[in-house]
Amino acid sequence: MALPTRSGGLSSILGAVVARTAADVVFVDGVRTPFGRAGSAFAETRADDLVVRVFREVLRRNPGLPPERIDDVAVAATTQMGDQGMTIGRSAALLAGIPNSVPGYSVDRMCAGAMTAVTTLSSAIMAGAYDVALAGGVENMSRHPMGEGMDPNPRFLAERIVDVDALIMGNTAENLHDRFPQLTKDRADAFALGSQQKTAHAYAEGWIQPDLVPVATRSAELGWGMLSADEAPRPATTLEGLGALKTPFRPHGRVTAGNSSGLNDGATAALLASEAVADELGLQKKMRMVGFAFAGVEPEVMGVGPVPSTEKALSRAGLSIADIDLFEINEAFAVQVLAFLDHFGIDDDDTRVNPMGGAIAVGHPLASSGIRLMTYLARDFERNPSARYGITTMCIGLGMGGTVIWENVNYAGSKA
């Protein structure tokens, strides 16, 4: 669209703005590496090389997209240093062979980094500034342990801006148990067992594998290998075993390694486009963005963040929780998911919730996980054409929540 001339005056400029309509954003494709356990398969693999692998795969899977048509690249990492630094959105794009003309940048919103990369790029598409964008997220916690290089301002604690627990995620989960006594350890363990069982079922049915990108691994001691499936799942998990685990964050606590996500390595990527351009290029459309929201809560109970972010996103979209057919909720801690379900009156074992399992089983490489949720939801929609709306939501460190609402492009009408 041509810019209005200076002689056109303010009314000409305002007319041009009013005439523009928001573009629909579609999720074209999403892929991820298998998630490794920290200290294991990817311990000697660079984080930027993990991003390169998923970028190349998403482009390979979508040959109708000329790479030069990508308008921008955004990659999230929580610890932005070393091989996760140097503006990884730009550096990984160059390493992946994306043309020099395509810019890139980095994002940090802790665990919601990849989610924020998607929503930020989508906002530019909605505004008509971009046609196609590539989002990603990565965390190699083997090479960059949580909190590495962190230097919290002493005023946080000295002036009681946040409680000391706010800086230790496991303590925030224990605080949720304190605040909502009905969220018992037994319920958390049962939910964790369900995550393991659903993940094992999803693998057995072949639902997860199509979006996994095998990655060559190297160990100075063991030599070369290949990781083609998530390392973390424990399909033999039992309630008895979960009940016997230690509670590392406080004596006689309720949060354990079994009802929490682990420390993991991995990368994700998502291809986004305006619906019109996706149609022009013949790209597959998996789901359509309806809206999104982020919200803040008390940092010491950060796990409840998805509640206000979901309420805000639903209100902006003119929807209610009853309109949502599928939920992909990041399982940072089981208690965090249970707090969300209780607030909205959803049963712990509701089949609409994380039907392929979640982070308790497959892992949570921090900034990469938002796109993992989206990739799962796209597969959920594919198997459930009678489902119209779904959400991806997650809690975020320092007291935040993020929620994105999506519509199934293959929606086949009423479930009746």
CA distance 264 to 271: 23
Burial, 13: exposed, middle or buried (Cβ in 10 Å; 0-12, 13-18, 19+)? middle
Instruction: List residues with catalytic annotation.
Output: 111, 364, 395
Instruction: Check if the beta carbon of residue 339 is closer than 8 Å to that of residue 303.
Output: yes
Name the nearest CA neighbour of 107 among 96, 99, 116.
116
Q: What is the DSSP letter of 42?
A: T
Between β-strands 72-76 and 132-140, what pairing exists: parallel, antiparallel or unpaired?
parallel
| Token pair for 309 | 């972010």
Structure tokens at 78: 């929580």
Q: Is the torsion defined by CA of 375, 376, 379, 385 positive or negative?
A: negative
Per-residue buried b or exposed e for 152-165, using 16+ beta carbons within 10 Å of the residue's own CB: eeeebeeeeebbeb
**Euclidean distance between CA atoms 169 and 249, whole angstroms:** 9
Give the DSSP letter of residue 238. Answer: -
CA-CA-CA-CA dihedral for 307, 310, 316, 320, to nearest 10? -100
For 54, half-sphere exposure in the C-beta direction (CA atoms, 13 angstrom radius) is 34
Which residues, other chains included, contact 33 with Cβ-Cβ below 8 Å and sequence gap of 6+?
42, 50, 53, 54, 212, 213, 215, 227, 266, 267, 268
Contact 132, 65 (CB under 8 A): yes
Look-up of token digits 């039992």:
238
Complete DSSP assignment for 343-410: HTT--TT-TTB-TT--HHHH---GGGHHHHHHHHHHHHHHH-TT--EEEEEEEETTTEEEEEEEEETT
Element (H, E) at 105: strand 104-107
